[in-house]
Amino acid sequence: MVWPFKPRLSKQIARIEITGAIAGATRKRVLEALKTVEEKKFPALLLRIDSPGGTVGDSQEIYSALKRLGEKVKIIASFGNISASGGVYIGVGAHHIMANPGTITGSIGVILRGNNLERLLEKVGVSFKVIKSGPYKDILSFDRELTQPEQIILQDLIDSSYSQFVGTVAEGRNLSEETVRSFADGRIFTGQQAVELGLVDKLGSEEDARRWACELVNLDPEKTPCFTLEERKPLLSRVLQGKQQTGTIKSGIDWLNFELSTSGLPLWIYKA
């Protein structure tokens, strides 16, 4: 992890940024950063979230780590352009949440996506012979339709994951599960609407959230440095990143690879 090896860490606050889809590499990086915050005894953490969500398990692990860290460190979440689905799940692990008035948030729910290529495979003359140990071992196979019993199994799975999501939001935001369910139907809303619903505490920018974090641990916002904990990257990656910043290389979430790698996995993710 990259962080300033300077004395008096109790007079500084840490910052971790979560961007893009929450899966695999993001989980690993964030968990390592949270461990560093605890080990170096920063008094407060500014958690900047700009994510449409991600996989269930990865979001849950980050949330659990935030709750443990929150016993020692004051945590403020700042929602950026979008903090939806898994982004919300992680955010409620903080003590307080701040969002911009126009932040897109919400989308509390679970989605499971499969790909049915049966017609396409028929046209090109491709078929599969499947030998399986049980009737549901090839559930969500891309070369056939779901059966009615399979739909029931998967719906039960989604309902269970959804209940976990609702329960976590209710606990994290001190709301009743009934209240959370009233707006946890997959809809999205603005930061301003989220305040009215009780999902967000205050409206403000990331700078406002930073100042709030300082005040909560009795540090002067004008004098307290905020250090971003980042994953140390190989030299080549840093060079390429520099080129990205000059506009010669463009990058973003590889949604095709994400879809393929998560096909058949329950997702807490906002899909526009």
For residues 206 and 46, the answer to whether their CB atoms sit within 8 Å is yes
CB 9 within 8 A of CB 81: no
Catalytic, 137? Answer yes
Query: d(Cα 109, Cα 86) in Å, to the nearest integer?
Result: 9
User: What CA–CA distances, in Å, run from 264 to 108, 142, 158?
Assistant: 19, 10, 11
Which long-range contacts does 151-156 make (Cβ < 8 Å, 24+ apart)?
154/112
Catalytic position from the list 51, 85, 107, 141:
85
Q: For residues 270 and 59, is the Cβ–Cβ distance under 8 A? A: no
- Where are the extended beta strands (E) located within the chain? 13-19, 44-51, 53-55, 74-84, 96-99, 104-106, 111-112, 188-190, 202-203, 226-228, 266-269
Beta strands at 226-228 and 44-51: parallel, antiparallel or unpaired? unpaired
The reply to whether 205 belongs to the active site is no
CA 247, CA 250: separation in Å to the nearest integer? Answer: 7
Choice among 6, 28, 41, 137 that is catalytic: 137
Catalytic residues: 85, 137
